[in-house]
Structure 1
C-alpha cells in the first residue's frame, strides 16, 4: 500500500484494487522458499499481502508512518514497523528479494536551498535493501521518472508500464519493474537515463502511446530469489506502545517496577541498643508496632494512638477582675488491645 497525494491533501490514497488485481494476474511472482518482501510505505498492508498471495515459507515486511494503519497492517503482514521510513527505521542492506515501493508523491522539506522529491528519497534510501537479482516494483507518476532516472539506470534493468486508462487519469501513474544488477557500464546507464527522462517529458497521451499499459501485456513469470544473507536488523527507533505493552506484561517487568515504586510498608524496627520499657511504651502508643500478635495460643490485635489535650497550669486574676489562664499541651498515649478470643477491648494509658 502507499500514501499518495500532496501536502494540501495530506491524505491516504491506496493503490487501486483494480491495479492490484492486474499486477497479480500479469506479473506472476514465483516466490522461492524463504523469500522476503518489503513495502516501506505499506499503509494497511493490502497490496503486499495480495502479491504474496498466501504463499508459504516467505516473509512479508512493512513500514508505515500512520499508527492506526500500521496496526491494521499487522493483521496482513508478518512484520510491520511503525515510524518514518526515511529517518526512524534501520534495515539490513541486501536482505530482500522484492521491494514494492509506492512512496508519497511530494517534495520533501529541506533546510537548504534545494529540496528533493520524496519519491527519489525513498528510492535512494531503500534500493540498498534489495539483494542482487532482486526485483523492484516502483509506482510513481510518470513525470517523476526524470528525478528517478539516474539511480534506476545505474542499478536496474528496467521496464516502464502505464496504469490502465481510467486509473491513469487520477495521478498519471506508471509502474517501473526493475531487476537489480551490478553497476551498469557508463554508456549503458546514460542511454537508459536519457530514455527515462524522455518519457517523463512527454504529454500524458503521448506517454500512454509510447509505453505498454499493464492490462495489455502478456503474463510474465518473475522468480523472486531466496535470501542471500540473513536479516540482522529490521527495527524502528521509536517504541510502539501496542507492541511494547504486551511484551512488558509477559516479561513481568511492569510488576517489578510497580513494586519498586510502591514498596510494601515495613514496620520492622531494628534498635541499636536494647529497648527500655518506657521507649517500648512510646512506640506502642505511637502506632509503630500496630499489628496482630499471637503468643501461647492467645490472639491479640494491638493499636496505639496518641491523644492531644490541654492541661491548665496556672490561673491568675488581678484586682480589676482581669485574669489569665496558662495551659500546656499534653500528649496522652493510649494502647488499645482487642482479644480475638473473648472480643474484649483493653485500654492501657
Structure 2
C-alpha cells in the first residue's frame, strides 16, 4: 500500500487524472510504426499534461507528426501546449473536430460511472452500464481515420458485453495486454479501424469478443505487455483529410477575457461583429408614434446600441414569440346537458431586452426585460442540507463530500459514514500497513494529504476510503471502484 497511497492521492486531487506510467508507455510505443511517407496527425482527447502524446510523436518522428490534444484542466492544458502542436482546453463533448482526420487515437479516458445532468440527459448512446470510458470512446471514434490505429487504456472491468461488441464491430487486429503497473487494473487495447463490411470471418470476431468479455469479467487474465514487441506492428497512416475544424463551442470566462484582450476589445468593432453589413434601412415616410416605435422594437426591427440624452448606454434587442392561450366555454344543449369546449388561440408576446453598458453605472452589465407575458411564480429556494455534525478531532476536515456511489449506499441505509469519519478525524487510519500509517502520522504533523482505508460490512464494496486534502479544505469519502 505504500506505493498506492501517493499516486492515489494525486489521482483524486487531479479530478480522476491518472497519467500512463512510464513502463507501460514505453512498451506501448514499441508497437507503433510510422507511415513510410507523408505527414501524420495524432490525437489524445484526454491529454493531461501531454507527455504521452509527445512521446508518441517523438517515436513516430517529430518532424513528420502534428500532435493535437484536448484537456479539461486549465493548468494541465497550459503544460501540454509547451509539448504539442494544437491543444484545446475544455470538455471533449464541447468541441467540434474534423472527422477521420487522425491516424492515431491515443485514448486514456477518465474512469468512473457517468452522471446525468440536471435534466436527466447525457450524450451517452447505449443500453449497457453508463461509464465515462464508453462515452469518450463514442465521441472519439469518428475522429480516427479508417486504417488508423487505436490505443485504448482502460480498467479491465470496463470491458462489458456492450463495449466488447463496439470494439469488434469497429476494429480488426485487436490485441489486449495488461498494463505494466497493476495498481488500477488497466489493460492496453490495440486495434485498426475498418468499416463493418470489411470485418474478418464471423467466427474470428466471435472468438475475439468472447476473450475480451472474459477479461472484463475477470474469468481470464490479459497477457502483460511484452518488454520487447515481437508481433506485427501497428502502423500510423499519413493524414488524408485536412483539419478544417478543431475548436471548442463555448468559452470559459477566463478564455473570453483572453480573447477580448487579443482582439483589443469587442465594443469598438460592435457593428463589424454583430451588425448586418451592406443593408441601409430606409427612413419612414413620416415620424413614428410611440406605439409604432414600441411595436418595431418588440418585433426586432430596432436593435443595437442606443444612447439616451442623459448619457445612458443600452444594447437593445427586441423579439416576438407566439404562445397558446387556453379558454374553456360551457354551453347547454336542447336536452339540458352541459357541454364543455376547450378553445386554443394564438397570443403574440413582445419581449424587449436591454443590456446596460453605461460606463461607471451601478447597474453596469444588468439585463432589463420588458414583456407582456405574465410573470412566472418564483419557485421556493431549495432547503439547505443539514450539515454533518462531528466531534472535534485532531485536524480540521474542511468540507465533507462523497462520491455518487457512496451517496447511494448512504441513501439506501447500507452505510453509516459517521463512524468512519470519527475514526479518520481521530487519526485512526484503519486497515493500512505500518508504513502507510507512519506516512499519515508524518503528514498530520507537516500538513500533507491524509488517507484512511476501512473495512465495512458491505457485501459488494467491503472497503471505504477517506482522503483529506493537504490544505484541509475538503475531505472525501469514496469507494475503490470509483477508480
Question: TM above 0.5, one fold?
Answer: yes
Q: Distance in 2 between matches of 1:114 and 1:159?
A: 23
Compared with structure 1, are the counterparts of its residues 11 and 89 closer, same or farther at alpha carbon in structure 2 (3 Å cutoff)? same
- 1:43 matched to 2:48? The reply is yes
Please name the residue that 1:145 is paired with.
Answer: 159
The CA deviation string for residues 284-339 of structure 1, in whole angstroms up to 9 with x for no partner, is: xxxxxxxxxxxxxxxxxxxxxxxxxxxxxxxxxxxxxxxxxxxxxxxxxxxxxxxx
- 1:96 matched to 2:96? The reply is no
1:173 to 174, 186, 199: 186
SS in 2 for 1:235: strand
Compared with structure 1, are the counterparts of its residues 4 and 75 closer, same or farther at alpha carbon in structure 2 (3 Å cutoff)? farther
> Would you say the 8 A contact 1:94–1:229 is kept in 2?
yes
Q: Distance in 2 between matches of 1:4 and 1:90?
A: 33
Q: Distance in 2 between matches of 1:247 and 1:89?
A: 17
1:119 to 107, 121, 133: 133
> Would you say the 8 A contact 1:45–1:73 is kept in 2?
yes
Please name the residue that 2:75 is paired with.
Answer: 68
Compared with structure 1, are the counterparts of its residues 69 and 152 closer, same or farther at alpha carbon in structure 2 (3 Å cutoff)? same
Q: Distance in 2 between matches of 1:250 and 1:119?
A: 36
Q: Distance in 2 between matches of 1:9 and 1:207?
A: 29
- 1:30 matched to 2:18? The reply is no
> Which 10-residue stretch deviates more, 244-253 or 187-196?
244-253
Q: Distance in 2 between matches of 1:5 and 1:220?
A: 36
Please name the residue that 1:198 is paired with.
Answer: 214
Please name the residue that 1:222 is paired with.
Answer: 234
1:238 to 250, 253, 258: 250
- 1:162 matched to 2:178? The reply is yes
Compared with structure 1, are the counterparts of its residues 76 and 244 closer, same or farther at alpha carbon in structure 2 (3 Å cutoff)? farther
What is the alpha-carbon root mean square deviation over aligned residues? 3.6
> Would you say the 8 A contact 1:4–1:104 is kept in 2?
no
> Would you say the 8 A contact 2:27–2:225 is kept in 1?
no
SS in 2 for 1:197: helix
Listed as ranges, the gaps of 5+ residues in structure 2 are 1-7, 122-126, 271-304, 308-483
Compared with structure 1, are the counterparts of its residues 193 and 243 closer, same or farther at alpha carbon in structure 2 (3 Å cutoff)? same
> Would you say the 8 A contact 1:140–1:175 is kept in 2?
yes
> Which 10-residue stretch deviates more, 221-230 or 67-76?
221-230
Compared with structure 1, are the counterparts of its residues 61 and 104 closer, same or farther at alpha carbon in structure 2 (3 Å cutoff)? same
Q: Distance in 1 between matches of 2:91 and 2:254?
A: 17
1:257 positional shift: 6.3
TM-score by length of 1: 0.63
> Would you say the 8 A contact 1:70–1:80 is kept in 2?
yes
1:328-343 matches, within 5 Å, as none
1:195 positional shift: 2.2
Listed as ranges, the gaps of 5+ residues in structure 1 are 264-349
Q: Which has the higher strand share?
A: 1
1:136 to 124, 147, 150: 150
Larger radius of gyration: 1
Compared with structure 1, are the counterparts of its residues 56 and 6 closer, same or farther at alpha carbon in structure 2 (3 Å cutoff)? closer
1:89 positional shift: 1.1
TM-score by length of 2: 0.47
Compared with structure 1, are the counterparts of its residues 200 and 153 closer, same or farther at alpha carbon in structure 2 (3 Å cutoff)? same
1:19 positional shift: 1.7
Compared with structure 1, are the counterparts of its residues 225 and 162 closer, same or farther at alpha carbon in structure 2 (3 Å cutoff)? same
Compared with structure 1, are the counterparts of its residues 55 and 247 closer, same or farther at alpha carbon in structure 2 (3 Å cutoff)? same
1:151 positional shift: 1.0
> Would you say the 8 A contact 1:119–1:148 is kept in 2?
no
Compared with structure 1, are the counterparts of its residues 174 and 235 closer, same or farther at alpha carbon in structure 2 (3 Å cutoff)? same
Q: Distance in 1 between matches of 2:83 and 2:40?
A: 17
Compared with structure 1, are the counterparts of its residues 246 and 121 closer, same or farther at alpha carbon in structure 2 (3 Å cutoff)? closer
- 1:15 matched to 2:6? The reply is no
1:84 to 82, 91, 116: 91
Compared with structure 1, are the counterparts of its residues 148 and 4 closer, same or farther at alpha carbon in structure 2 (3 Å cutoff)? farther
Q: Distance in 2 between matches of 1:237 and 1:4?
A: 32
